[in-house]
Amino acid sequence: MSFPKKGRNFRPISGKSFPNLHAKMAASGDYNIATVIAETLRQTFGGTRGAIKTVMAFTGAGERAVKNWFEGKNAPNGENLIELARHSDEILEVFLLMSGRGDVLSAKKLVDARDKLVEMLDMIHQLQGNDKTESPNQD
């Protein structure tokens, strides 16, 4: 027995693609939130079943809802979008770009770069410290 196909409305796929998502969004405010989120989810998590399960675990949403997000049929609601942004820097960046807050995104990238630089400097100091202690023993 199969279920009747009446009563189910599917959104058509528009065929739009975002090859350089950040540049396009920065240049114009013309975007479809479901499409942008879907593209970002696929880039961040991949398009596998495991990726869908991961996003389900992050958000607590059902499998069908998450599949619709990945396909661009629907966008996540506010609570799920917050959970996605909590677990994915890419989703956070896209959200900031869509909301017109590129300045906040620039500040975030600056802080991230500073943190990486501090981490690299610590590694350099550790390596230099190890070399100084080992060199007298080698003579």
pLDDT tens-place string over residues 34-72: 999 999 999 999 888 899 999 999 999 999 999 999 999
Q: On the CB side of 131, how many CA atoms lie within 13 Å of its CA?
A: 6
Q: What is the mean pLDDT of residues 3-31?
A: 51
Residues 6+ apart with CB under 8 A from 61: 55, 76, 80
Share of the chain above pLDDT 70, in %: 71
pLDDT for position 15: 44
C-alpha 68/C-alpha 53 separation (Å) is 13
Q: What is the model's pLDDT at position 40?
A: 92
Between these two residues, 137 and 113, which has the higher pLDDT value? Answer: 113
**Whose structure tokens read 């879907």?**
38
For 38, 46, 89, 109, the CA distances from 43, given in Å and listed in that order, are: 9, 6, 12, 19
Query: So what's the pLDDT on residue 56?
Result: 94
11 with 69: CB under 8 angstroms? no
- Whole-number Å distance between alpha carbons of 38 and 55: 12
Residues written for the chain: 139
Q: What is the pLDDT of residue 27?
A: 52
Q: What pTM was estimated for this model as a whole?
A: 0.60
pLDDT of residue 139: 47
Residue 66 contacts residue 56 (beta carbons within 8 Å): yes
Task: Tell me how far apart the alpha carbons of residues 34 and 75 are, in angstroms, rounded to a whole number.
Answer: 4
Q: Which pLDDT does position 82 carry in this prediction?
A: 93
Report the mean per-residue pLDDT for the chain. Answer: 79
Mean pLDDT, residues 69-86: 93
